[in-house]
Every structure is written in C-alpha cells, then in structure tokens.
Amino acid sequence: MKSILILLAAIGAQACQPKDLRDISLRRHKREFKREFEREEKAPFPPDWDEAEQILLNSFDNTTIDQWAYYYTHGAHLAGTNKTMAQWTADRWAEFGWTSRLDEYYIYLNYPVSHSMQLSYSNGSTFTPSLEEAVLIEDETSSYPNRIPTFNGYSASGNASAEYVYIGRGQQVDFNRLKTLGIETEGKIGIAKYGGPFRGLKVKNAQEHGMIGVVIFSDPSDDGNVTEAKGVATYPNGPARNPTSVQRGSVQFLSIYPGDPTTPGYASKVDSPRSDKSENVPKIPSIPISWLDAQPILQSLNGHGPAGKEVNRTGWVGAIPGVTYNTGPVPGATLSMSNIMEDKYNWIWNTIGIINGTNNDEVVIVGNHRDAWIVGGAADPNSGSAVMVEMAKAFGKLLETGWKPTRTIILCSWDAEEYGTVGSTEWVEEYVPWLAGAAVSYLNVDVAVSGPIPDMSASPELHSIGTSIMKKIIYPYRGSTNQTMYDIWSTEGSGEIGVLGSGSDYTAFIHRGIGSLDIGAGGGKEDPVYHYHSNYDSYHWMTKFGDPGFVTHKSIGQYLTLLTYHLANDASLPLEPANFATEMKAYLEELEDTISTANATLNLGDLTEAIDAFEKYSSQFNSLREEALSTNDADLLKVVNHKARDFQRGFTSQGGLPGREFYRHIVFAPGLDTGYAPVTFPGVTEAVMEGNLTLAQEWLGKTAKGISVAANILKT
C-alpha cells in the first residue's frame, strides 16, 4: 500500500485547522448527498401486479391498521418496561403463521426520578419553568397518570447551578464561534437549541468545553410558517406546535458508539462483563424544555453578549417571540438545575418472527422499534409497528395458498432503540457470525408516517429495487387516489434517495456490511407540525392531523411488503452492486471539493483505482447474472446471488473508523459531529476536516483497500 503524503506547502496542519469547514461540508451534504434519480414523467396507472402481489396488497386494511395503532399507543412502553407489548406483538405475528419468539438482553438503562429548574435574575426575582407538557382534554393519553416525564435518556444525574450561555445548536463550530467572540463557557450552563446535530453531541461538546449542565429547547423556527406567530392555531385546536411540547430523547454519544454503552462490541447478557461507559454517555446533566419555558430564560439574555445576528452562525437565531438570541451570560443571573436519574440494568425484549425459506443461507430482515419516549408514539415508532403487524398478516394470507419463500424472512420489533439503537445493536452483536454469512438486506421502518410525503434512504445496491417498488403502490395524497407512491415521492418529495447516517436501527447492520433501506413518510412545509418525542405524538394527533383514515400507513405498509416479497422471492436477487460505483464516483468528487476547501493536498490515486476496479468487476458481475438468467442455470444463479449478498462485507474495516471502533463502513457513516447526517468516505473526510492529513492519507489507503475487497467478491 502506497502512503506517500504530500503535505501542505507552507502552513502546518495546526495553522490550517479549518474553522468553519464542517459547516460548509454539512450544507453541501444536505444538498448533494441525496443522489438524483432519472425521473419518469409518471408511473403507469394503475400499476401491473402479479397474483402474489395482489394477495399481499389486498390484505391491507386501514381498519385493522387502526386497531394495531390504537393498541401500541395506549400504554407506557419506554425501553425495558412493557414485556406484555413485546409478547402481544409475537402473538399477532404467530396468529398469521410466523414462528415467533422474544430475544432478551440485559442492558444498562436509566429512568427519570425527579427534576427541577430555576432561573434567578440578577435582581433576585425568580422564574420556575414547568418542565411539563400541558394535559389536553381532547388528547386522552396526555393525561395518563403513568405518562412519562420530560427527560433525556442516558443523561447524567446531578445538580448544577451557574450563569448560563446560549450555545446555538451546540455544534463544535458554534463553540469555535463563541470562543472567537470571547464568550467564556467554562463552569457555565449551556442552553442549546434543538436542530442540527444529534442532541447527545450537543451535550458532549458542552462537556468538552467545560460546561456543567445543558438545557435543550425546541424552537418554533423549525416549524416554518405553521406557527402561532403566523396566525396558525396550535394543537389540539390546529396544526401548529403546542407551545408546551417537549422533545425527549437520548443524549448518548451516538456517533461514537450506539448500543448498550457498557458492552461495546458484544451482546449484553446477564453475566456479560461490563466496561466503563463514561466515553459513550455524558458526565453532566441535561434537561429538555419547551419553547414556552425557554422564552424567559433566553429573554433574560437579550442585550447581554453579542446578539444572535452578530454571532452569525447557521441556525443560531430562532423564532421565539421577544428573543434576540444573545449569547449572554448576564452577570448574576443563574440557572439552577437538578436532574435525578435511576441507573439500572434491565431486561429488554426484541420480538423476532420467522418464515423459513427454501434457501436458509439467504435471509431478508425487516425491523422497526417498538419502545417510545411517551405513552403514545403514534408516529415514532408505532406507525411502523402497526404497519409491521399488517405486513405479517399479508404474508399470512400468502402462506395460506401454500407459498414458501425462496429466502428466509425475519421480522424484528426492537426494544430500546430510543436510548441508542440498543435492541438491534445487541442482537446484531450476538448473531453477527450467522448474519455475516446469510443476510441479504435489512429493511427498516421507524416513523412510517408523520405526514403524507414519502422519503427513503438506502445503500446504493437497493436504489433500483427501492424506486421500482414505489411504482407498484397506489398512494392516496390530499384526497386524490389515482397516483403511485413514486409520483408523490418524485413530485412532492425530494425524488432523491438519502445516504444512511444514523438515528435508527439500520445502523448496526450497515456497519457490519449488510445493505439497508429506511422508509417512511413525513410532513411537507405546510403540513401539521409533528410533535417529535412529545406527549402529542399521540393516537389523537395521528387520527386528527397526521394520517386521518390511516391511508398513508396502508401505502407504506404495502410498499415494505412488496419490497420484502421481491427480495425474498425473486430468482435473481434484485440488488445492483454496480450502482455503488456510480455513487462512489460522486462521493469522490465531493471528497476532492472537501480537500480543496481545506487547502490540503492528498494522493487520491489508490482510491480512484479501487473505484475503477469496482466498476469493472460490478459490470462483469452484471454479465454473469445475465448469463445465469438466460441459461436458467441454478448453480450459476446461486453464485451470482451470493456475490450480491456478500460484496458489501468488503466495505467494512476491521478495527473501525478512527476513534470509533463500532463504525466500520468505509463508504458512509454518521458524521462525528452530526450523529444523524452522513459523511461519505468518513475515514478520509473526517480526518481532512480535523486537519490531520497523515490520518487522511492513511485512510485513503484503507478505504481503497476495502473497495478492492468488495470488488474482488464481485469479480467473476
């Protein structure tokens, strides 16, 4: 392996440390990291279906979907607290002909005990935030006595009292900006706005900058024009955000390690050795609050420290009335916060359902998590859970005809996703020897529906089948029923397929080299505001605003069902490895941009060669597949199917990406300082952004090597 490094001419790596480079890159990723598809005018209508497809599609019924949705959204099901619901899921699947069971793990979790907060103005008067979401008569689960407090999962327990500083979205670049402006963060409490990076990374960055506590607030600026300030009625009377709504959520350091933070790299059993979790979860307490509670806290900073406009950072200024988003601090004005959590080891339950195929060395896995931060969870995740039960029912109908799939199908209802994709990560860690040999693809649905517009992210080999199945699904949209899902996706949606970062259960699969697709539907700019991780993500909201009639649920379920059917049943696996070559060439161009923005010089020769080899061998693979299909040679077909199943394992790097062993995929990964949003060629790109060109060149070599391994699996 060549590792000749051409360093920056005059300036040393330190001097070149790019200040706002992360930000530039992130904006570019948003625009370009969804590769455009060649869009056809409109998919043929009505679509053509074969007999099996018709049986599957016709089985879908919005009345039963409604029943499943109702069940899942009327009982607390925080991670590790509702085994009844896991068993209920297993029982439904079993009724429809699936062999089902519960897979248990024993994991570290923490639960809220008590919390409080107080603002003391410098004149001695005080304000006490309520830290509660309003009980709404219209929305029955908002008043359940066992409703779940507003809190951050995996937050540290503790008290903090200090002057406080507004830290924007809490990204590293925000802290860099504060430093430039001379704002001290050491020993202070940070108040951060939701949006941008995963919330755990806001807390991580604050902790690394010496802060002793963090408060994270929702801001109506995320709601566009659907706000009270623009004259729109708030939930439950209208589609705007209820001002008391709070976004709960995990503060794990997701981009470093998902899963049980005490068992990195292996499954959590009752007697598993436990390692120090402090690298993966915060040491300082954090509390999430509503914009109504945030208003006086931020207003008190008005006129102190640089104003929001002057700070001039992406997403810094929000839309809370009367707030100028100054940094503060205000001498003598303090926040006191107390956050008490109960740390414990607890059982979690993944429900697993299986239909054996004729080829048991080829397995298609479909998953959705079941746990929610609230009693409801009508969108996140139980729109997906309801759809999965209906899908199990549809396959049951097909089984009744005597059908048996070519490949094994596995359904998974994960627990503890919300704390950090824990149920799926532990399961993958347990079964990885078998999965690495047998898994064809992992299909994920999390929020199946929070609005009417379909959205998809996937690894490149799934792009083609992922879009073609959309053309087979009738997709009701704003009262019109004569179009396909593809039409709505390509006209009202982005018409682009996202790159997988993290934030749901595909993470553990992808980073073991198992290709994945993530599907769901969300709201557009003018749709009702979805109260993410709030009590108002409820059955009432869903039936009134999110998806009245469960019509979008039905279409998303039908989509997932047909996609699963074709992956499990087509003689030739409908995967397109060659599309990885197309995508990697685009990522290479983006990498070249990143390198030139950083004024760096690196040798891209090995990487370019490896991508060219991949392109050549994937096209050889296509020829061999055509031959297998035209000669109908079963042995040859098995050979090509196994190549399609296996090639992506080559993209995984033993030992993982720099500083994060868990993340192994060398083509894409969650950004270190984003958590959700992806970075492509992450080993190289992150090193360039950090200004470590030695590391970048080393990772150019490792990335090229991984691509060569994948290419050689496809070679015929």
Ligand X SMILES: *[C@@H]1O[C@H](CO)[C@@H](O)[C@H](O)[C@H]1NC(C)=O
**Interface residues with ligand X (CB under 6 A)?**
16, 18, 21, 45, 62-63, 66, 71-72, 74-77, 82, 84-85, 99, 116, 121, 123, 125, 159, 224-225, 300, 312, 338, 356, 360, 480, 482, 525, 549-551, 598-599, 692, 694-695, 698
Residue 62 binds which entry of ligand X, Zn ion, none, CB below 5-8 Å type-dependent = ligand X
Q: 């003391």: which residue's tokens?
A: 120
How near is the Cβ of 598 to ligand X at its closest, in Å?
5
Is 505 a binder of Zn ion (CB under 5 A)?
A: no
User: Is the distance from CB of 326 to CB of 308 less than 8 angstroms?
Assistant: yes
Query: Residues with Cβ < 8 Å from 553, sequence gap 6 or more?
Result: 62, 65, 69, 383, 386, 387, 390, 448, 449, 547
Residue 84 binds which entry of ligand X, Zn ion, none, CB below 5-8 Å type-dependent = ligand X
Specify the residue, 21 or 79, whose C-beta has the smaller distance to ligand X: 21
How near is the Cβ of 423 to Zn ion at its closest, in Å?
12
Specify the residue, 380 or 690, whose C-beta has the smaller distance to Zn ion: 380
Specify the residue, 280 or 314, whose C-beta has the smaller distance to ligand X: 314
Specify the residue, 536 or 550, whose C-beta has the smaller distance to ligand X: 550
Q: Is 145 exposed, middle or buried (0-12, 13-18, 19+ CB in 10 A)?
A: exposed
Residue 311 binds which entry of ligand X, Zn ion, none, CB below 5-8 Å type-dependent = none
CA–CA distance, 208 with 237 (Å, rounded to integer): 42
Binding range to Zn ion, per CB under 5 A, among 5-13, 442-450, 563-571, 627-635:
442-450
How near is the Cβ of 349 to ligand X at its closest, in Å?
12
User: Is the distance from CB of 431 to CB of 103 less than 8 angstroms?
Assistant: no
Is 515 a binder of Zn ion (CB under 5 A)?
A: no
Residue 63 binds which entry of ligand X, Zn ion, none, CB below 5-8 Å type-dependent = ligand X
User: Is the distance from CB of 512 to CB of 428 less than 8 angstroms?
Assistant: yes
How near is the Cβ of 191 to ligand X at its closest, in Å?
16
Determine the 3-state secondary structure of 100 from DSSP: strand
Which x/- pattern over 445-474 shows residues binding Zn ion (rule: CB under 5 A)?
-x----------------------------
Residue 240 binds which entry of ligand X, Zn ion, none, CB below 5-8 Å type-dependent = none
Binding range to Zn ion, per CB under 5 A, among 113-121, 443-451, 556-564, 604-612:
443-451
Q: For residue 545, which of 100, 128, 235 has the smallest C-alpha distance?
A: 235
Is 381 a binder of Zn ion (CB under 5 A)?
A: yes
Q: What is the dihedral of CA 291, 292, 293, 295, to 10 degrees?
A: 80
Instruction: For residue 576, indicate whether it is catalytic.
Output: no
Residue 654 binds which entry of Zn ion, ligand X, none, CB below 5-8 Å type-dependent = none
Which residue type occupies 202?
Answer: K
How near is the Cβ of 371 to Zn ion at its closest, in Å?
8
CA–CA distance, 506 with 503 (Å, rounded to integer): 8
**417, 496, 686, 690: the active-site residue:** 417
How near is the Cβ of 472 to ligand X at its closest, in Å?
15
Specify the residue, 39 or 74, whose C-beta has the smaller distance to ligand X: 74
DSSP-derived letter for residue 34 is S
Specify the residue, 446 or 547, whose C-beta has the smaller distance to Zn ion: 446
DSSP string, 234-262: BTTTSSBPPTT----EE-S-TTT--S-TT
Query: Residues with Cβ < 8 Å from 671, sequence gap 6 or more?
Result: 22, 26, 29, 255, 501, 677, 678, 679, 682, 686
Number of residues in contact with Zn ion under rule CB under 5 A = 3
Which x/- pattern over 388-427 shows residues binding Zn ion (rule: CB under 5 A)?
----------------------------------------
CA atoms within 13 A of residue 157's CA, in its CB half-sphere? 11
Residue 18 binds which entry of Zn ion, ligand X, none, CB below 5-8 Å type-dependent = ligand X
How near is the Cβ of 357 to ligand X at its closest, in Å?
9
Residue 381 binds which entry of ligand X, Zn ion, none, CB below 5-8 Å type-dependent = Zn ion
CA–CA distance, 129 with 258 (Å, rounded to integer): 32
Q: In terms of DSSP bridges, do strands 334-355 and 99-120 run parallel, antiparallel, or are they unpaired?
A: antiparallel
Q: Is 707 exposed, middle or buried (0-12, 13-18, 19+ CB in 10 A)?
A: buried
Q: How many helices (H) and strands (E) does the chain have?
A: 21, 18
Determine the 3-state secondary structure of 81 from DSSP: coil
Q: Is 2 exposed, middle or buried (0-12, 13-18, 19+ CB in 10 A)?
A: exposed
User: Is the distance from CB of 130 to CB of 375 less than 8 angstroms?
Assistant: no
Binding site for Zn ion (CB under 5 A): 380-381, 446
Q: Which residues are catalytic?
A: 417
